[in-house]
Structure 1
Amino acid sequence: MIDICPAAPHHIEALVALDSVAQHAPERAAQIQAWVQAGTCHVLLVDGRAAAYGVLHHQFFNCGFIEMLMVGPGYRRQGLARQLIEHLRARCARPKLFTSTNRSNTAMHALLLQAGFQRSGYIDNLDEGDPEWVFFCRVSGG
């Protein structure tokens, strides 16, 4: 059974454990805790276990922005990221929703295009040699 809900403090340890970056970057673990405390983090549970999380805020030029989307390694390629994107889109309180990913993350590019996003530009100099592509979609409920 799949459930998506706002992440709570008791989810933090499981979110850190499933996050492939947090395993070797303590600042990511601290960021996860901050997102949970801010109420911007949503956790996707499969049979009660944290399998993925996403972060939605509305501070990107007063638009919605999916800052993070992470699916645990054992849960990838099962459609969970798409479900999480749809959940976050439904909760976007603005008519425009943005997200971004590195040029090298072709799987995320494909997922976003399938989910109805379109490319909206790119940002150089965040990750050396790997520009950040920005994606956009309109939100009907925003």
Structure 2
Amino acid sequence: MKIEEATIDRKQEIFALDQMVYNGPVRRPFLQQAIYSNECFVARQEQQIVGFGVMAQTFFDHYFISLLVVHPHFQRRGIGKSLMCQLMKVCPGEKLFTSTNQSNKAMHHLCQSLEFAKSGFH
């Protein structure tokens, strides 16, 4: 597996993966902007994009991982963790934040394994 910056020529693959995984409003404009701004990283196995993550300086002037997506057939194989580690590595700021729903146990476990501190909950 290889983690690299997303390129505009792969945007249709990213859009397709997002649409397959996310059952909500179309996020193409957001994803396209992230790709153009070098804020999107992809995980590739051979030539197939199997996941992606988006990080930008959008949280009170700090960096924030706003999106982490892994193809359902490739989950639980370390791809999400590899993407998060790459985003942590390239983050130019002192702090890096992310957020998830209370029900997303997999993301909670991932964040805990990477020593993210819990905050902002009751």
- The TM-score with structure 2 as length reference comes to 0.90
Higher CA-based Rg? 1
Greater percentage in strand: 1
Higher helix fraction (1 or 2): 2
Cα separation, 1, equivalents of 2:101 and 2:39:
22
Q: How many residue pairs are counted as aligned between the two chains? A: 120
Could you tell me which runs of 5 or more consecutive residues in structure 2 were left unpaired when the two chains were aligned: none
Q: Tell me, which stretches of 5 or more residues in structure 1 are unaligned?
A: 123-132, 134-142
Cα RMSD for the two superposed structures: 1.6
The share of aligned pairs that are identical, in percent, is: 32
User: Which stretch of the first structure deviates more once superposed, 56-65 or 99-108?
Assistant: 56-65
Q: Residue 13 of structure 2 aligns to which amino acid in structure 1?
A: A
Deviation (angstroms), 1:66: 0.6
The 4+ residue runs of structure 1 with deviation greater than 6 A are none
Distance in 2, matches of 1:101 and 1:90, equals 21
More relative contact order, 1 or 2 (CA 8 Å, 6+ apart): 2
SS in 2 for 1:119: coil
TM-score (norm 1): 0.78
Distance 1:99 1:24, change over 3 A: closer
- Aligned pair 1:25/2:29, yes or no? no
Alignment partner of 1:87 is 2:86? yes
